Amino acid sequence: MPPSTIPKAKRATSGGNTPVGLLYFLDASGRRILSVKPDGSDRKVIVTAVGPIPDGIVVDAESGHIYWTNMGNPIKNDGSVERADLDGKNRITIIPEGGTFTPKQLHLEKKSGKLYWCDREGMRVMRCNLDGSNVETLVDSSKGDARPGPDETKWCVGITIDPERGKIYWTQKGPTKGGSGRIFRANIEIPRGETATNRSDIEVLFDQLPEPIDLEVDLENRVLYWTDRGDSPRGNTVNRASMDAIPGEVTPEILVTHLMEGIGIALDFKGNRMFLTDLAGDLYSARLDGSAKKLLLGVQGNLTGIAYAEIP
């Protein structure tokens, strides 16, 4: 990637109290939500007895809320989405068990007041209002398969949104170590006269990836970031590529290697850094170009989703 496209600092704070940067992350094995400062200090357990298998997390600092997904049992229709205050209090379920099959990464689009997520064994891309109302299926990749989906190439996992251009991006990871993962792009809104199952605007942006998992986006520089599990040299990495790539004409850039089943990614543009989690229980930081990789915490359980927020 040319130096001119490397993300730069932005969104300076104006007036008032200086916000405090915090990381919120999920330990699936311990069924808990934790927070730490960006240097790994001041570790706190915020919420316990989450899940089973919490996976995706987002923070709405302005409204003071954490949202997260619970995968539940992958062979049962018992996934859910919950919300709590930033200190873990006032916990409520906004999508009850069975409202989604196995929800994975979660994305908050504050302007439209929507939560987006991928439903893995449900083979869907979904969204709802911030209170859990108006649940919609935007993409159904099942092609008639019953849920839970038996074909891993149809499993939807990571998701991010480009609200400015009205696009959704999502991953379908494929089989373990299969090398058949893909990243897709489509319009947020289903074309008129079409449905989630037959919409004609879906593009395969990248294919033959190891196992693409979570997605994040830098809208200012038009760059897509993602974690990838699977075999080296391309697996267990962090990658980036242009959001506006012509399918088949761009090779993703590998930024970080040697993760142990990489899952979560969160970006801090002002600090020019990313934060990463893996199933081995590691929490890392690195610059947005992948340099200066640093282990912040290790052996924290089976870590899944992570979010960075500046708390007023």
Q: What CATH number is associated with residue 229?
A: 2.120.10.30
**Could you tell me the residue range of the domain that residue 65 belongs to?**
26-311
Strands 273-278 and 223-229: unpaired
Whether residue 214 lies inside any domain: the answer is yes
Whether residue 155 lies inside any domain: the answer is yes
Closest CA to 123 of 168, 190, 178, 171: 171
Cα distance between residue 198 and residue 123, in whole Å = 14
First and final C-alpha spacing in the chain? 34
Cα distance between residue 212 and residue 182, in whole Å = 7
Strands 283-287 and 294-297: antiparallel
Structure tokens at 74: 């992958």
Whether residue 128 lies inside any domain: the answer is yes
Closest CA to 82 of 98, 70, 72, 71: 70
pTM of this structure: 0.93
In the block, tokens 């839970």 appear at 148
Cα distance between residue 124 and residue 230, in whole Å = 22
Cα distance between residue 32 and residue 45, in whole Å = 7
Whether residue 10 lies inside any domain: the answer is no
Q: What percent of the chain has pLDDT over 90?
A: 90
- What does the angle CA 2 – CA 306 – CA 93 come to, to the nearest 5 degrees? 140
In terms of C-beta density within 10 A (0-12 exposed, 13-18 middle, 19 or more buried), how is residue 88 classed?
A: middle
Q: What is the pLDDT of residues 124-162, one digit of tens each?
A: 999 999 999 999 999 999 999 999 999 999 999 999 999
pLDDT grade, residue 16 (50/70/90)?
low
Cα distance between residue 238 and residue 252, in whole Å = 10
Whether residue 177 lies inside any domain: the answer is yes
Strands 203-209 and 211-218: unpaired
What is the structure's pLDDT at 248? 83
What is the structure's pLDDT at 4? 35
Q: How many domains does the chain have?
A: 1
Whether residue 17 lies inside any domain: the answer is no
Give the other-Cβ count within 10 Å of 203's Cβ. 13
What kind and span of H or E run contains 119? Answer: strand 114-119
Whether residue 18 lies inside any domain: the answer is no
What is the structure's pLDDT at 14? 38
In terms of C-beta density within 10 A (0-12 exposed, 13-18 middle, 19 or more buried), how is residue 25 classed?
A: buried
Whether residue 287 lies inside any domain: the answer is yes
Q: What is the pLDDT of residues 225-266, one digit of tens each?
A: 999 999 889 999 999 999 998 888 889 999 999 999 999 999
